[in-house]
Structure 1
Amino acid sequence: MDDFEAYRAAARAGGVPDEAVELALGLARPQVELSSSPGPDAVLAGRYGGWPSLPAEVEWRGYPDFVASVDCASLPRVFDFPFPAEGSLLFFADRRDAEGPESERGAGFVVYVGADAVVEERVPEDGEAVYGEPVPLFARSLWSLPMACDDVVAADERVRGVYGRYRLDRWDERRGVAQVEILLGGYAYSPQDPPSTEGGEWVLLAQGQYGFRDEPDFVGCPFWSVRRGDLEVGDFSSAWMVMWSYH
């Protein structure tokens, strides 16, 4: 995983005292980045786009759109919440309409497929959600730092004050991360207020970033969350998605 030296150097150069730097780094959480660029330490762990492979009992007719699948067994075991040790997670979201109704823009979901499940590639009859050939995704682990508006900062008066005084999220070079297909765990990198964890009841499972098919100048940022209690027993039925978009 990346160390904290780049953050320390940037913050100190900006006049941030060491105690404030260490406060920020003490809030760091592990995160896994899934990118189409292999990198020196990355391992093959999923694919982006194409068509999903699903068990027969999972209903899906082409919407919400299939975004990516992740091979859980291939991921670095760094998460600070329960994460499946095997099987696959498939992520779905709207990739068509950047300004559609909120009821549709929040229609994404997550499907967990066990390692021994019988699956087949699912191609909708209308074929509307074609995004080209699937792209392999390579995983690497790194650290994630909160934004000033994250729950972990906003809920603590002292932490909130230090974050505001020294603009501690300013020194995180990963803010506004782009060209990364999927991020698992960690904190949200969001163009708006990040999704709330509601006092720790919800876990941010994954986030993505992509251009919309019909409006490529708009960038969509889906965030998939799941109840912590359900995650602990491997139940993803409560998983839901919120979508932010920007021009």
Structure 2
Amino acid sequence: MNRYEQFRSAALDRDIPGDEVDKFSDQLRFAIWASTGSAEEESVGQLGGLPRLPVGVEWPGGESYPLPFIGSVDCAALPRAEGLALPEDGSLLLFLHHEEDMEEHSPLGGSPYAQALYVPAGTDTAVASPPSDHDSATFFHENIPFLIPERRLSAWVQPVLPDWIEERDVEFESDTVKQLLDELKHLDELCALVGELWPAQDRSAALRLGGYGMEIGGQDGPWTQMASINIGDRPRGSDLQRAEWFRLLHEEERRLRQEWVPLAQFHTESDVYYGCFLINSDDLAARRFDKMRSFTMFTE
């Protein structure tokens, strides 16, 4: 029995109508959260240190502009999360220059300052040598070293609900979501059941895979940025036109949240930048990690 089946069975046992359980389950996601664990916990990867790159592959970004290594995960060691089609083996390496990526700001295309590199199982790899002159490579606005100390990661599966359920606030959501909130008559019971089945861990996550995206700071979140471009610069000259534009925007955001999943979300070594890599669910299942889009966020 997977987690969705477990949840549905427990909800039906409490006499919550099946159609309501199904609607709620469509909003429930399971994510993999990882933190810097103790030596007693199974290691699923690392933050910082040096990456293991395929033999003959140069450091992402090249010698001219090498990208800082965020960390890597061993996909075979990760716990499985329903609905998150990560590879069953191999490793996933994350690289990001947060300052340059924030300036690049390319919501519909790849960024040269962010990379998710998948290394299939069985690939000949070696610990990469640091790029030349890396000791003098720091970020422009903050004195952050290029290389950061290695820390081991342990992981667990965490249920995640969208913000509008957690906060019971649909003011800026789509009409579809507003209608759904009206239909979820047992919402408090369903949320409580999630907490009972999977109690929250008393630790913070340094790296999140899957779930829902966090919107940090004052800028538009990734889905809003993509949705705004997708619907185009439609006329907004009157109140009616503006209302219709925002209606379309919220519906497009809802659609994109269904299709795109956070591949990785993480704090950078900076106090004011947060990394967010998104990937289309179909691309994730097909291991097309070059299709990943990066949305570095400024936390202030």
Q: Aligned equivalents of 1:195 and 1:161: distance in 2?
A: 27
Aligned to 2:12: none
Deviations 1:101-157 (A, max 9, x none): 23499531200001111122141112125333210011111111111299xx64533
- Aligned residue type for 2:179: R
The answer on whether the counterparts of 1:49 and 1:67 sit within 8 Å (CA) in structure 2 is yes
Q: Aligned equivalents of 2:100 and 2:284: distance in 1?
A: 30
Q: CA deviation at 1:39?
A: 10
Q: CA deviation at 1:45?
A: 0.3
3-state SS of 2:30 partner: strand
Q: How many residues are matched?
A: 219
The answer on whether the counterparts of 2:87 and 2:285 sit within 8 Å (CA) in structure 1 is no
Residues 41-190 of structure 1 mapped to structure 2, 5 A cutoff: 43-55=42-54, 56-57=56-57, 60=60, 61=62, 63-95=66-98, 97=99, 101-103=103-105, 107-120=113-126, 121-127=128-134, 128=137, 129-148=145-164, 154=174, 155-159=176-180, 179-190=204-215
3-state SS of 2:284 partner: helix
Which consecutive residues of structure 1, in runs of 5 or more, have no partner in the other structure? 5-17
The answer on whether the counterparts of 1:33 and 1:142 sit within 8 Å (CA) in structure 2 is yes
3-state SS of 1:221 partner: strand
Question: Percent of aligned positions with the same letter in both sequences?
Answer: 23
| Higher-strand-fraction structure | 1
Higher mean displacement: 101-110 or 24-33 = 101-110
Structure 1 position 28 matched with structure 2 position 33: no
Higher mean displacement: 137-146 or 100-109 = 100-109
- Structure 2-normalised TM-score? 0.60
- Aligned residue type for 2:124: V
Which consecutive residues of structure 2, in runs of 5 or more, have no partner in the other structure? 8-15, 138-144, 224-254
How large is the RMSD of aligned CA atoms in angstroms? 4.0
3-state SS of 1:237 partner: helix
| Higher-helix-fraction structure | 2
- Structure 1-normalised TM-score? 0.71
